[in-house]
């Protein structure tokens, strides 16, 4: 039986799976939102609701704000929906504009406050349930971040805060200065992105000394009741139907194992891939990135699948392509 989400333990009735909305709104350009974009949003939303998803993940940069605009229009067309779902968005990335040579990360007070105001305007809502700081900013002043979050909380614009792509040390630095707890850490985790598991096994092993996933991050979040969210949990379909021509042997073998388990358990490959994450006792919440209604529906029931320890390890070792010591 799956453990309750840390979010649930905090009284937030979040679904076991979340829908990531990066694919809504069309291209990453400045073209206006179209009627077809709105239709796609309704279809993705309905597919998500049909499998029990009530948690929707945005960011101010997704399709340059158009993903949030799509949801804002949906709220206008479906009165009462806003209060039935949980909205999460992110800030802190500034995309390149003409004349720029790179994207930037910006955790300045001014940028955080302006980003949230933009998100609220596009969504057409008065508050965000959870705001994540999107990626670490090397120039971050934690005292400045603390002041921004304090203002957002006091104004009622944001109810809870979290981070994305941060290590335990980075979270600890923010916690030193911020009054509000950080209740989410969203990380890249999937059956294809397994460095978060490798980090557990890397202690005192020379061949893994260059592992980049920060040791102790998963453990810190678990100890602090911080919700671990997995972005990219479906690995872009790598194990659930994507053509595998040219893929390495470990990927091909893992896809075969996933299909065999799906057949054995009378479910879909997508559900098996998600169940691998959700079997972990950290109570990981996958944030699926597809907006294809059929693929969303294929994720249904993943939270009802039980993988044995043997099945979990077989998938892990198959993916990494190297036996355990």
Lookup: tokens for 284? 């990981």
**pLDDT at res. 13:** 97
Residue 25 within any structural domain of the chain: yes
Distance CA 30, CA 18 (A): 27
State phi, psi for 229 to the nearest 5 degrees: -110, 140
Task: Identify whether 30 is part of a domain.
Answer: yes
Q: Can you give the CATH number for the domain in which 36 is found?
A: 3.20.20.100
Indicate whether 140 belongs to any domain.
Answer: yes
Question: Residue 87 forms beta bridges with which residues?
Answer: 56
Is 216 inside any structural domain?
no
Report residue 315 as tokens: 């998938």
Domain that holds residue 66: 13-188
Of 62, 177, 220, 316, which one is the catalytic site residue? 62
Q: Is 278 left (phi over 0), alpha (psi -120 to 50) or beta?
A: alpha
The residue whose two tokens read 């941060």 is 166
Backbone angles phi, psi at 140, to 5 degrees: -65, 135
Residue stretches of the chain with pLDDT short of 70: 202-212
Amino acid 309: pLDDT: 97
Give me the number of domains the chain comprises: 1
In a domain, 243, yes or no: no
Helices (H), the chain: 6-9, 35-50, 66-77, 109-123, 142-155, 168-177, 195-201, 217-223, 249-264, 269-278, 293-298, 309-320
* Domain assignment of residue 309, yes or no: no
pLDDT score of 325: 81
Please give the pLDDT value at position 98.
84
| pTM of the predicted protein model | 0.95
Element (H, E) at 19: strand 18-20
Instruction: Examine the residue annotation and report whether 62 is marked as an active-site residue of this protein.
Output: yes
The H or E element that residue 129 is part of is strand 128-133
Could you tell me the CA-to-CA distances from 4 to 180, 193, 216, 272 in Å, in that order?
Answer: 22, 24, 22, 19
Residues found in the chain: 325
In a domain, 193, yes or no: no
Q: What is the pLDDT of residue 215?
A: 82
Q: Is residue 152, in this structure, part of any structural domain at all?
A: yes
């Amino acid at each position: 039986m799956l453990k309750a989400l840390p979010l649930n333990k905090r009284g937030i009735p979040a679904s076991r799976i979340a829908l990531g909305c990066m694919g809504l709104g069309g291209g990453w350009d400045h073209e206006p939102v179209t009627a077809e974009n709105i239709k796609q949003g309704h279809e993705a939303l309905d597919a998500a609701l049909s499998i029990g998803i009530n948690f929707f993940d945005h960011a101010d940069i997704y399709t340059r704000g158009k993903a949030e605009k799509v949801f804002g229009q949906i709220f206008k067309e479906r009165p009462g929906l806003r209060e039935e779902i949980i909205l999460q968005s992110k800030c802190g990335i500034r995309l390149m504009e003409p004349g720029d040579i790179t994207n930037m990360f910006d955790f300045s007070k001014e940028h955080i406050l302006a980003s949230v105001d933009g998100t609220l305007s596009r969504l057409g809502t008065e508050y965000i349930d959870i705001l994540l700081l999107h990626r670490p900013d090397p120039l971050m002043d934690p005292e400045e971040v603390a002041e921004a979050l304090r203002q957002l909380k006091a104004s009622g614009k944001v109810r809870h805060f979290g981070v994305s792509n941060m290590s335990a040390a980075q979270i600890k630095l923010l916690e030193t200065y911020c009054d509000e707890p950080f209740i989410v850490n969203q990380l890249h985790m999937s059956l294809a992105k397994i460095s978060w598991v490798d980090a557990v096994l890397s202690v005192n092993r020379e061949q893994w000394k260059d592992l980049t996933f920060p040791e102790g991050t998963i453990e810190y979040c678990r100890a602090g009741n911080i919700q671990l969210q997995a972005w990219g949990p479906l690995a872009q379909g790598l194990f659930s139907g994507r053509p595998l021509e040219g893929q390495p042997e470990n990927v091909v073998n893992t896809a075969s194992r996933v299909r065999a388990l799906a057949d054995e358990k009378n479910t879909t490959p997508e559900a098996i891939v998600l169940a691998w994450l959700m079997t972990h006792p950290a109570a990981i919440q996958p944030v699926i990135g597809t907006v294809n209604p059929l693929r969303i529906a294929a994720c249904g029931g993943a939270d009802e699948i039980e993988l044995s320890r043997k099945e979990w390890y077989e998938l892990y070792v198959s993916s990494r392509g190297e036996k355990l010591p």
